Structure 1
Amino acid sequence: MGMSVTISAAGTQDAEQILKLQYLCYQSEAELYGDYRIEPLTQTLDELRAELERGHCLVASLGDEVVASVRGTVDEAGTAHIAKLIVHPRMRRHGLGGRLLDAIEQHFAADPGPTAKRFQLFTGHRSEGNLRLYRSRGYEQIATRVAGPRLTLVTLEKAA
């Protein structure tokens, strides 16, 4: 009998697994843009733990292994900033990224704290798989920002 992936809220006890997964997942992004100094590859464990305490994070687990994650925060204006949606390379193209994105949107739409009025995220202009996923979930491009000689960040948003 195979195991199924479960999605749950992450805690600081998951930080080490999330950081290792983040490092693995962002290798392809670093290669795509020719920059291995991007923040997801330089973030420390202490920085990640602090980020987890400030916001909300979900993990997708297969048994005891964290195979995907997403995190975010809601600001005072009601914008849910969704970040670092990562899926283990062997688990990609099975709908897990979409499931996590849906789950974090649902969390922020129902959160008793500041309720999300809109969802916002960003990705690199060459990250076609990410852009395809976000657009398929109703996100529309609202801005671009040159972040370096090889990277333009594309900001996408949708109403809650």
Structure 2
Amino acid sequence: MGMSVTISAATDEDVEQILKLQYLCYQSEAALYGDYGIEPLTQTLDDLRAELARGCVLVARLGEEVVGSVRGRVEDDGTAVIGKLIVHPRMQRHGLGRRLLSAVEERLARERSARRYRLSTGHRSEGNIRLYRRLGYTPVATEQVSSRLSMVTLEKAPQSSPAGGEVSRTYAASA
């Protein structure tokens, strides 16, 4: 597919496009759970600007258009909390979500010394859960938020290196 999508840090100029895309992407989630009061749909520009100031926000751009985004922050214990992974509906199913997630993991490890990654999604959002599992995340908890919605929390330990990091660590432990 001949699309050249670039991933980079979001700037203040991107805030309105990110929020618009967020509203668009979370409509299907809201419909799935029958709840249009979910936080991604009620978030304001000021909320998002504050997130941009204190965390790591990435955007995927196709030309001038923001077609995807993800954000993360690292808590005091080294846990990187990743959220709001969004990809424009017409750009979905091309691996862009995977690219965004890998990019934010890598940046949080490099710039903020993340020791593990955590994300949450609704229990009926099967596509999300499948993607996260494929990328090495394991469900660790489920919390009932309302009669219609439970949030599944998934976690992943960072790799020490992209290829074979786990293997060498196992050998080191048994040597």
Q: TM-score, length-normalised on structure 2?
A: 0.88
The CA deviation at 1:28 is 0.2
Contact 1:121 1:156 in 2 (8 A): yes
- Identical aligned residues as a percent: 69
Match status 1:107 vs 2:104: no
The CA deviation at 1:3 is 4.6
Paired residues, what number? 157
Matches within 5 A, 1:58-137: 58-111=58-111, 113=112, 115-137=113-135
Residue 8 (structure 1) aligns with = 8
The CA deviation at 1:52 is 0.9
RMSD of equivalent CA atoms:
0.8
Where does structure 1 lack aligned partners over 5 or more consecutive residues?
none
Q: TM-score, length-normalised on structure 1?
A: 0.96
Where does structure 2 lack aligned partners over 5 or more consecutive residues?
159-175
Residue 53 (structure 1) aligns with = 53
Runs of 4+ in 1 over 4 A off after TM superposition: none
Contact 1:3 1:63 in 2 (8 A): no
Partner SS, residue 26 of structure 1: helix
The CA deviation at 1:10 is 0.4
One-letter amino acid of the counterpart of residue 144, structure 1? T
Contact 1:12 1:53 in 2 (8 A): no
Residue 148 (structure 2) aligns with = 150
Contact 1:55 1:73 in 2 (8 A): yes
The structure with the larger Rg is: 2
One-letter amino acid of the counterpart of residue 123, structure 1? T
Q: Distance in 2 between matches of 1:52 and 1:146?
A: 29
Structure number with higher relative contact order (C-alpha < 8 Å, ≥ 6 residues apart): 1
| Cα deviation digits, residues 12-52 of structure 1 (max 9, x gap) | 21100000000000000000000000000000111111111
Between Structure 1 and Structure 2, which shows a larger proportion of strand residues?
1
Match status 1:30 vs 2:30: yes
